[in-house]
Amino acid sequence: MMDSPKISLVIPVYNVEQYLIRALKSVEDQTFKNFEAIVVDDGSTDKSLEIAEKFCQKNENFFLIKQKNKGPAAARNTALDSCRGEYIGFMDSDDCLEPQYLELLYNAAVKNDADISCCNFNFYYPEKNLKIYMPFTSLPGVYSKTQALKKLILDIGMHYFVWNKLIKRALFFENDFKFDEMYFEDIAASPKLFYYANKIVILGKALYNYTSRETSILHSMNTKRISDYIKSLGVIRNFLENKKAYKDYSTQIWLYAQKLKLVSYYYIFMLHAKETNFNKFLENISSAKKSIDYFAGKLFKPTKEDELPEVPYPIISPPPKAKTKKAKNKK
């Protein structure tokens, strides 16, 4: 077993047999070798576990943890307990890394004494074998916590994903950090980690390839996922309120809330379109607006820091269509 690896890379796995070999091979081929990969199989029912087992058997710095299906946030939390690296990174098991991903992120963090280093990324479309560079990124450089967190909340120049970042291990363990077990846990988590950081460095190179596929969360939205998407704003607001820091970021919260409305409206439209049923559509639009306005507005009442705020107006499923009676055949 490697003594004190510089980086721990966390890889939750669930039913990704089609992509997993490519993902793990991209980790194996990293130019930076002083790392451990913590692979957590989250109760896969396809051949993902078998693939992960073989990879971990042939690579002494790959470690496998098996658990019942609990979701990606729980898998990440399980892995955190085993991470020994100075920095911790996260990777989705259907994505892949450029060979210098770990090397360049680690060197940038150490050189600039930064708690978090970030890189740009590509969208990868496997059906077309096409990579498209993500254009909405901040300029490379070193940012203070306040500068970076304001950009992060807006989700334009910096982005909520945890998978294009290396994060100092101390930020997790000195602050008793755990991922909230909900969908869109990245949105809820990243602002907390940025708040705890002193400096953040951004690299201009695209070192991470995000795989866009139809079974991802963004392509399979339902009422729970839309409600959790909205809840993530409440989690950010609640955290900042508990830290007595909300006023410093209130403008960014309000601006992000307007974007959140538009995206939520789109997801609600697609939800109803998928069911070809627009009953309760306007009610769901109204619920999304009222919940987001509450989380970004003056009437918000914080809960304890370790308690997730509830969405005051949850999204509901389109009601089933009434069955049409078939005309009786005349005798």
Domain 7-217 has CATH 1.10.10.10: no
Q: Nearest-CA neighbor of 120 among 201, 186, 187?
A: 201
Residue 191: pLDDT over 80: yes
**Residue 3 confidence class, pLDDT cut points 50, 70, 90:** confident
**Residue 1 confidence class, pLDDT cut points 50, 70, 90:** low
Give the number of C-alpha atoms closer than 13 A to the C-alpha of residue 61, restricted to the C-beta side.
Answer: 22
Radius of gyration from C-alpha coordinates of the chain: 21
Ordered by start, the domain boundaries in the chain are: 7-217, 221-296
Could you read off the pLDDT of 147-163 as tens digits, one per residue? 999 999 999 888 999 99
pLDDT at 48: 97
Rounded Cα–Cα distance for residues 271 and 120 (Å)? 31
- Contact of 73 with 228, CB cutoff 8 Å: no
Provide mean pLDDT across the span 188-215: 91
Provide mean pLDDT across the span 60-83: 96
Write the DSSP symbol of residue 291.
H
pLDDT mean across residues, the chain: 92
Torsion sign across C-alpha atoms 14, 18, 20, 26: negative
pLDDT at 274: 86
Q: Is residue 23 classed as helix, strand or coil in its secondary structure?
A: helix
Rounded Cα–Cα distance for residues 1 and 326 (Å)? 70
Is residue 96 exposed (0-12), middle (13-18) or buried (19+ Cβ within 10 Å)? buried
SS (H, E, C) 177-245: CCCCCCCCHHHHHHHHHHHHCCEEEEEEEEEEEEECCCCCHHHCCCHHHHHHHHHHHHHHHHHHHHCCC
Helix (H) or strand (E) holding 132: strand 130-133
Share of the chain above pLDDT 90, in %: 83
The angle at the Cα of 253, spanning 211 to 108, to the nearest 5 degrees, equals 50
Rounded Cα–Cα distance for residues 149 and 155 (Å)? 10
What's the token pair of residue 16? 């990704």
Residue 320: pLDDT over 80: no
Could you read off the pLDDT of 44-67 as tens digits, one per residue? 999 999 999 999 999 999 999 999
- Contact of 199 with 126, CB cutoff 8 Å: no
Could you read off the pLDDT of 299-313 as tens digits, one per residue? 999 999 889 999 999
Is residue 299 exposed (0-12), middle (13-18) or buried (19+ Cβ within 10 Å)? exposed
Residue 264: pLDDT over 60: yes
Residue 9: pLDDT over 60: yes
Provide mean pLDDT across the span 264-271: 94
**Residue 323 confidence class, pLDDT cut points 50, 70, 90:** low
Residue 102: pLDDT over 50: yes
The angle at the Cα of 62, spanning 59 to 67, to the nearest 5 degrees, equals 135
Phi, psi of 186 (to 5 degrees): -60, -45
Residue 331: pLDDT over 50: no
pLDDT at 185: 94
